[in-house]
Structures are given as C-alpha cells and as structure tokens.
Structure 1
Amino acid sequence: MTAEWLTIALPKGRIFEEAVELLRKAGYQIPPDFDESRKLIIEVEEEGIRFILAKPMDVPTYVEHGVADIGIAGKDVMLEEERDVYELLDLHISECYLAVAGLPNAVLNDVAPKVATKYPNVASSYFRAKGEQVEIIKLNGSIELAPLIGLADRIVDIVSTGRTLVENGLVEYEKIVSITSRLIVNPVSYRLKDRMVHDMVHRLSEVVGEK
C-alpha cells in the first residue's frame, strides 16, 4: 500500500480519453479497463494515484477545495470558473475555441441583444470589452437551439469542427479565444506534494514537447 496518494480530478467526456492516453504515454501504468469503468473514484495503487471522475465544470472546484490535488480542465472552464488554483501546463489536447454564432444575416436587436451560453462570465466580459451591452441567458446544453426558437440573437459556445453549427443552420460570427486542456494544481498540494506534482509535470512536459 502506497504511503501517499496523488488525487487527480479528470473530466468525463471528450477530454477524458485524450488525457488518459497522455498519461499512458508519460509512462503511468493505467489499467487497460480504466477507460470502460463506471466508477467515479478509481485507485491505481501501483502508481499511488487516485482518480476522481467529474463533470468538466466541477474539476477546478474539486482542485480549489483540495479534494483533488491535481486536475485536467479545459481553458474554457478555467476562464469561466476563475478558481484559486495554479495552472502548470498546457497539455495541447482537446483543441477547440470559443466563438460567437447565430443565424445567417440575423440583425442584432439594438436594445440589449440576447446571448445564450454555458459561459456567462466569459461572454459578459467579451461583450463588455467591446463596449456592447447584451443580456446573457445561461443554458446548460443544446445552446444551438436558442437562436432557432427565438430565445437569443446570438450564442457563445465551444466550436471544434464547426459541424454542429452547420447542421443547425448557424454561422460563426467572431472567434473569442482558443482553448486547450490544462494541468492545474491545488496551491497547498503544490507545496506539500511537490515531488509528486513536479514529477508529473516533468513527465507530461516531455510528452507534449514543452521544456
């Protein structure tokens, strides 16, 4: 039994598979059936690592509160959540970007146009920086639906291939920011488990090509 565990919060979904592949390339012995497990907490005793599988938006919260030492989170989540964590490494996985989109040739409402998004803080900051006053409508999913049913004039959402926008008859108007997944750490864990944290950063850095 290992004396000290390193607890890592991993997001379910798209980032998960790429993150696990990256950890394996970095030499971590992740069991073959790890990817198919339905458990929410998985221990890899040989490595002294405990994984917590969480909703992407919750990963920085777990790390900030110290229930996870380390997390892997998209930059979109980091920008939206603004949690008290250290961002240590750009993993260069799950590349995409945040963009403003809507129906083709749709004219914005002059009086506080409505913008639907899962990222109210990011969207508010973006339009405020442009000197535009908008009404933000927070949605948790199917953001593309908002312009189609007249709920919003525009949306702010993640774009990967752009296929979802096209299939729903929407067009991209403005790119806001490029997104990749980042390795984040709890500030206390960074000090108390520095050897384990720095070892992981070093091994992952070699895989992603950062010095």
Structure 2
Amino acid sequence: MTAEFPSVALEPEAAGPIILALPKGRILEECVPLLERAGIHPRPDYADESSRSLRFPTDDPNLDVVRVRSFDVATFVALGAAQIGICGADVLMEFDYPEIYAPLDLGIGACRVSIAEPKATAGTDDPRTWSRVRVATKYPNIARRHYAARGINADVVHLNGAMELAPGLGLTRLILDLVATGSTLRANGLVETEVIAHVTSRLIVNRTALKTRPEEIGTWIARFRAALAAAGTDAP
C-alpha cells in the first residue's frame, strides 16, 4: 500500500547542507562505526539519546545529521526534509514510498518480521482454513498484504508497543512484529510460527534530490559503498 501525501509536501532543498536522517535505538549504535568509515563525524552527542538536540552538524559543512524515530526516517526522506537516510527494510516494506530509492543494503540491524502466537496454541489449527484472523502489530500494511495474499481477512489492531501482551489478554490471536533474538517473545509465552521477511538496514535517498543534486548525493552513496567494502561487506 503506497502512502498518500498532502498536496503541500515539501520539495527537497536545492541548496544548503545535505541532511542525513538516522534512526534512534539499536540501529543508531550499529551506525557509529559505519559512519566513521564513511568519513562522517557528527557532533559527539548525536549518538547520546539523552541529548535533547535532534539536529547535529558534522565536520563537513555540507552535511548535517538529524536523529528521529526509526519509523520516521523514511517519511523525512520521502517528503524531502532529509535527502538521505538509514532505515530498516521493514519500514520500507510498510510504507512503500515511491519517492525513495534504496541503493545499498548496509548489512546492519539484522532482524526479521515474524508472526508469533502463544506457545500453548501454536500449531493446533491450520491457517489455510482461516477466513479471518485478528492480529496486533505496528505494521498494518504488511499484515494486511500478507494475509490478503492467502485469502484471509486480517482484522488489525494497531499497537505501537507491548504487542506481546495482546494474545495473553485476549486482544488478538496473533502478533506480527520485528524480532531480533526472540527473547521478549519467549518471556511472554509466545513462539514464532512464521518468518515473513529477513530485514537489514538500507541507505535510502530521495529520488528528486538524486536528480537535482546528483553529484552530492552520488558522492555520499559512493562513500557508504566504500565504507561497506572496507568492512568486508558486499554491497549490491
């Protein structure tokens, strides 16, 4: 499902520094060595999530960094508030922004989008017989597409956190969530019953910015590609 934007959507800036949008949390921690290899050195508190600042200059006057929620990185880039960014493939799957080009798999933030349900009921019913299922998730578009492809109507309960509580409290039968180690699922009596997609973080670019500022954007893509090569990571 492609997101719809209001008619007042911003155009990417034609002048001023390039803005790199970074996600808060675990991916930000994994970004630190990658940014160093790419020659990007923001003000030191950019990686300190207790800092109240959200925009940080770098030692390159033509590049600033902003730190936002992981789900918001794609929106900042798609709407032109940032020209480049780093976000998980799960976010790209959920929003499916046509304004975004994702040239590089950065190989960080590895996890998976999975279906989970209570251990006590897992495997007791054949999903192929279902016509409807109730699922808690922060990925409503992924959930609906996944079940629609199987002819199942997904009744989605949109939660932004604590998905693991939903089945035990009778809110939903299943959850669809991002899973890294699975420890939170196990702690709440849930098991993975299906992996929808394995995801990693991607370098993303605003397509209009790539057309209007090709040399600048192309240079940053090349620097990230070189950073991956320096780390021994194969870039597509």
**Which amino acid in the other structure matches residue 57 of structure 2?**
E
Paired with 1:46 and 1:71, the residues of 2 have a C-alpha distance of 17
TM-score, length basis structure 2: 0.82
* 1:58 to 1:32, Cα distance in 2 relative to 1, 3 A: closer
Instruction: Using the aligned pairs only, state the percent identity.
Output: 39
> Residue 94 of structure 2 corresponds to which residue in structure 1?
80
Larger CA deviation: 9-18 vs 199-208: 199-208
Paired with 1:42 and 1:73, the residues of 2 have a C-alpha distance of 18
Larger CA deviation: 107-116 vs 32-41: 107-116
The answer to whether residue 100 in structure 2 is matched with residue 100 in structure 1 is no
* 1:39 to 1:55, Cα distance in 2 relative to 1, 3 A: same
Taking only aligned residues, the RMSD between alpha carbons, in angstroms, comes to 1.9
Paired with 1:50 and 1:137, the residues of 2 have a C-alpha distance of 37
Count matched residues. 209
Point out 4+ residue stretches in structure 1 off by more than 4 angstroms: 107-111
3-state SS of paired residue (2:197): strand
Return the offset for 1:21: 2.2
> Residue 74 of structure 2 corresponds to which residue in structure 1?
60
Larger CA deviation: 32-41 vs 83-92: 32-41
The answer to whether residue 160 in structure 2 is matched with residue 140 in structure 1 is yes
Indicate if the aligned counterparts of 2:76 and 2:82 stay in contact, CA closer than 8 A.
yes
The answer to whether residue 27 in structure 2 is matched with residue 15 in structure 1 is yes
> Residue 84 of structure 2 corresponds to which residue in structure 1?
70
> Residue 183 of structure 2 corresponds to which residue in structure 1?
163
Superposition map of 1:1-211 within 5 A: 4-36=16-48, 37-83=51-97, 84-106=99-121, 107=124, 112-208=132-228, 209=233, 210=235
Paired with 1:33 and 1:114, the residues of 2 have a C-alpha distance of 42
Indicate if the aligned counterparts of 1:24 and 1:30 stay in contact, CA closer than 8 A.
no
Unaligned ranges ≥5, structure 2? 1-14
Paired with 1:47 and 1:17, the residues of 2 have a C-alpha distance of 23
Indicate if the aligned counterparts of 2:131 and 2:151 stay in contact, CA closer than 8 A.
no
Return the offset for 1:202: 1.4
Indicate if the aligned counterparts of 2:116 and 2:176 stay in contact, CA closer than 8 A.
yes
Paired with 2:223 and 2:59, the residues of 1 have a C-alpha distance of 19
Larger CA deviation: 90-99 vs 131-140: 131-140
3-state SS of paired residue (1:191): helix
**Which amino acid in the other structure matches residue 6 of structure 1?**
I
Paired with 1:126 and 1:170, the residues of 2 have a C-alpha distance of 20
Unaligned ranges ≥5, structure 1? none
Paired with 1:204 and 1:59, the residues of 2 have a C-alpha distance of 17
**Which amino acid in the other structure matches residue 216 of structure 2?**
M
Larger CA deviation: 31-40 vs 9-18: 31-40
Larger CA deviation: 67-76 vs 34-43: 34-43
Return the offset for 1:152: 0.5
Write the deviation string for residues 9-31 of structure 1: whole angstroms up to 9, x where unpaired.
11111111212321112222334
Return the offset for 1:45: 4.5
Paired with 2:66 and 2:155, the residues of 1 have a C-alpha distance of 36
Indicate if the aligned counterparts of 2:42 and 2:57 stay in contact, CA closer than 8 A.
no
> Residue 5 of structure 2 corresponds to which residue in structure 1?
none
Write the deviation string for residues 104-135 of structure 1: whole angstroms up to 9, x where unpaired.
14256956221110001001111111222231
